[in-house]
Amino acid sequence: MYSQNPVFIPGPTNMPEVLRKAVDMPTLDHRSPLFAQILRPALAGVRKVVKSDKAEIFLFPSTGTGGWETALSNTLSPGDKVLAARNGMFSHRWIDMCRRHGLVVEVVEVPWGEGVPAARYEEILTADKGHAIKAVLATHNETATGVRSDIAAVRRALDAAGHPALLFVDGVSSIASMDFRMDEWRVDVAVTGSQKGFMLPVGLAITAFSPAAMAATAAAKLPRTFFDVRDMANSYANGGYPYTPAVGLLNALKLSTELLLSEGLDNVFARHRRIASGIRAAVGAWGLQLCARSTDLQSDTVSAIRVPEGLDANRIVAHAADKYQVAFGTGLGEVAGKVFRIGHLGSLTDVMALSGIAAAEMTMADLGLDVRLGSGVAAAQEYYRSEHASEMQAAA
């Protein structure tokens, strides 16, 4: 069934009409110079979005998960040690992938709702005198819990320990929506996918490799073929691909980066923060709590909302879908049944957010929760009104 409602899942996100149209292209010879006219600006645009001058960008027909595999398989060897924190379903899955690749993972268990523990990382890295740890993994935005971690602090932990490990960052639900600084934080591999902040259909793994990560590819012994960045780099040098590229998606990615950069990255991030703050005001008005344990951890792209004891949060998601044709995210892993999630990244306006808040209120009232209709909507409206008033004052 087709619904005209926006989705409120944290990916795939709502797609602007122009981007959907940009995917829809006639067949084009990907070995012709026309293709390079799509590929090169797409690569340059992504490099700007991740704020890098030095990174090499690689775009695979895949998803964010393929981006993880690209990061690991191109830089590491079987038996290599990596350091990772488990604070949600996505960091958990990345750890699982490391193990399936024969890597030895030092896992820091973190309560779900907290961020990457930079201080604990620093202790572990300082103790690793022989530099056995080859890579440090950090999930910038844990989409399962709505928690943003401080990547600059993770970089400081590496520096304080004087540790040469590579820094890999999962930015799947942050890049293009929340501030991400590849060069400033000296991230070695950044990973995302097309269907989140870039507002595109699923289908591309988007990765950025630092010079240090590129240097690590020569010695890395993990097997890779499809995801080999050296093959990609060789083909890119000639404006082509080692296999058949997803031309329509790349064309739309080129346009997506143009839209993001013309809005201005700071404006994109401020819009996400404003929309998220309105949703958080609504959650407060409902008397509910976020999964994120403190305000500095609150994500601007997804809110995981704890439901009262005794209610299965999945019922909220199922009921909203059945009765109102509105999609919210379910709880995953340890927080399954305990939280429902409102995704608020990508192509979204305050007014769209208000419709999601209203649908959540109707759903919760239907299920007998003590939520007054209009309470969250009003709180968000007040917030959006005041924010726009201050924006207009700033502009005047």
What is the 8-class DSSP label of residue 209?
E
Report in angstroms how near the CB of residue 390 gets to ligand PLP at its nearest: 31
8 A C-beta contact, residue 97 and residue 218? no
Query: Which residue's CB is nearer to ligand PLP, number 7 or number 364?
Result: 7
Q: Could you say which of 11, 45, 113, 117 contacts ligand PLP (CB under 6 A)?
A: 11
Q: Segment near ligand PLP (CB under 6 A), from 70-78, 170-178, 255-263, 354-362?
A: 170-178
Q: Give yes or no for residue 64 binding ligand PLP (CB under 6 A).
A: yes
Q: Could you say which of 13, 14, 52, 63 contacts ligand PLP (CB under 6 A)?
A: 63
Q: Give yes or no for residue 75 binding ligand PLP (CB under 6 A).
A: no
Q: Give yes or no for residue 143 binding ligand PLP (CB under 6 A).
A: yes
In degrees, rounded to 5, the angle at the alpha carbon of residue 364 between the alpha carbons of residues 314 and 141 is: 55
Q: Give yes or no for residue 253 binding ligand PLP (CB under 6 A).
A: no
**Beta-carbon count within 10 A of 111 CB:** 9
Count of residues engaged in binding ligand PLP, rule: CB under 6 A: 12
Query: Which residue's CB is nearer to ligand PLP, number 47 or number 93?
Result: 93
What are the backbone dihedrals phi and psi of residue 59, each rounded to the nearest 5 degrees, phi first?
-120, 115
Helix axis angle, 313-324 to 350-366, nearest 10°: 110
Q: Could you say which of 70, 73, 75, 139 contacts ligand PLP (CB under 6 A)?
A: 139
Q: Give yes or no for residue 303 binding ligand PLP (CB under 6 A).
A: no
Report in angstroms how near the CB of residue 32 gets to ligand PLP at its nearest: 29
Distances (CA, A) of 194 to 16, 164, 204, 293, 299: 13, 30, 5, 29, 19
DSSP per-residue codes, 230-267: HHHHHHHHTT--SS---HHHHHHHHHHHHHHHHH-HHH
Query: Which residue's CB is nearer to ligand PLP, number 47 or number 196?
Result: 196
Q: Please, which residues bridge with residue 290 across strands?
A: 305
Q: Could you say which of 16, 61, 65, 273 contacts ligand PLP (CB under 6 A)?
A: 65
Give the C-alpha separation, 257 to 237, whole Å.
21
Q: Give yes or no for residue 346 binding ligand PLP (CB under 6 A).
A: no
Report in angstroms how near the CB of residue 224 gets to ligand PLP at its nearest: 17
Scanning residues 359 to 388, which ones bind ligand PLP (CB under 6 A)?
A: none
DSSP per-residue codes, 149-176: --HHHHHHHHHHHT---EEEEE-TTTTT
Q: Give yes or no for residue 172 binding ligand PLP (CB under 6 A).
A: yes
List of residues 6+ apart from 167 with CB closer than 8 A: 135, 136, 138, 154, 155, 158, 185, 186, 187, 188, 189
Distances (CA, A) of 329 to 10, 94, 295: 7, 20, 21
Spatial strand order in the sheet of 204-209:
56-61, 204-209, 189-193, 166-170, 133-139, 81-86, 104-109
Flag whether 341 is marked binding: yes
Query: Which residue's CB is nearer to ligand PLP, number 170 or number 179?
Result: 170
Q: Segment near ligand PLP (CB under 6 A), from 62-70, 160-168, 318-326, 370-378?
A: 62-70
Q: Segment near ligand PLP (CB under 6 A), from 24-32, 47-55, 137-145, 379-387?
A: 137-145
Give the C-alpha separation, 51 to 329, whole Å.
29
Residues in the chain: 396
**Element (H or E) spanning 362, and its range?**
helix 350-366
Q: Give yes or no for residue 330 binding ligand PLP (CB under 6 A).
A: no
Q: Give yes or no for residue 173 binding ligand PLP (CB under 6 A).
A: yes
Q: Segment near ligand PLP (CB under 6 A), from 36-44, 59-67, 97-105, 216-224?
A: 59-67
Binding-site residues for substrate: 341
List interacting residues with ligand PLP (CB under 6 A): 11, 63-65, 90, 139, 141, 143, 170, 172-173, 193
